[in-house]
Amino acid sequence: MTQALDALDVGGRYPQATSLAKGASSAGTMSRFGTFAITFGISFALYYTVFERLNWPLFTYHPVSGALEFWKQMEGKGPPMFWYGWLVLAGLAALVTSAIATAVPGGILRRATFFCCVLGALWPTCLTVLRSFVADWQALNVEFMNSVWAAAVPALLIAAAISYAVPARFVQRVWAPLLLLVPIGGLVVLGYSLQQYFTH
């Protein structure tokens, strides 16, 4: 819009039109930056929690020898440090997620956020249900059914069905409260997983 106003030289005759156009442009930039910043903050906390729980560092640092090795490496002089690897991997994943969030339209972003929140609630629920039958799985010698990934399939299917069935108006209404609750839930899980270091 500002290029069209410059081409017509409207700015000299109508200075108010130029200021309105610049305001609209900066509002769009701020909106994209706000989406990026909020998405990065929330997704970083969640990715860090997931990578810490699964013990997936991007690299391992051995402080005694000063060696830096790709992915998770247990061998080396002294205890390995995974914390730096979790931070960097969570930061990269959050960066990609935030870039995608700024590129998609608002309706799709809200629907994807709702899907991820439902998935985040259903995945541990499905895992708990599957593990309640752990004796049956062991009798059948099916160890995979006790893993975290076995719960992913039903959780994904149910979350996709719920996200598809829920009306857009409901998604828009619950979207903002979910943005507040999700990182809190992730940090509660992280705190629970780290309590052993504070209680012993």
Q: What is the pLDDT along the chain (200 residues), one digit of tens a residue?
A: 344 434 434 444 444 444 444 444 444 555 888 889 888 988 888 888 888 888 889 998 888 888 888 888 877 677 888 889 999 999 999 999 999 999 999 889 889 888 988 888 888 888 888 877 766 656 655 666 667 778 888 889 999 999 999 999 998 888 888 878 877 877 787 788 777 767 76
Q: How far is CA 121 from CA 4, 62, 166, 178, 185, in A?
A: 49, 36, 16, 11, 9
Residue ranges with strand state E in the chain? 59-62, 67-70
DSSP letters, 28-61, are: HHHHHHHHHHHHHHHHHHHHHHHHHHHT--SEEE
CA dist 80 and 42 (Å) reads: 28
| pTM of the full structure | 0.69
Work out the burial of residue 108: count CB atoms within 10 Å of its CB; fewer than 13 is exposed, 13-18 middle, 19 or more buried: exposed
Please, are residues 94 and 43 in contact by the beta-carbon 8 Å criterion?
Answer: yes
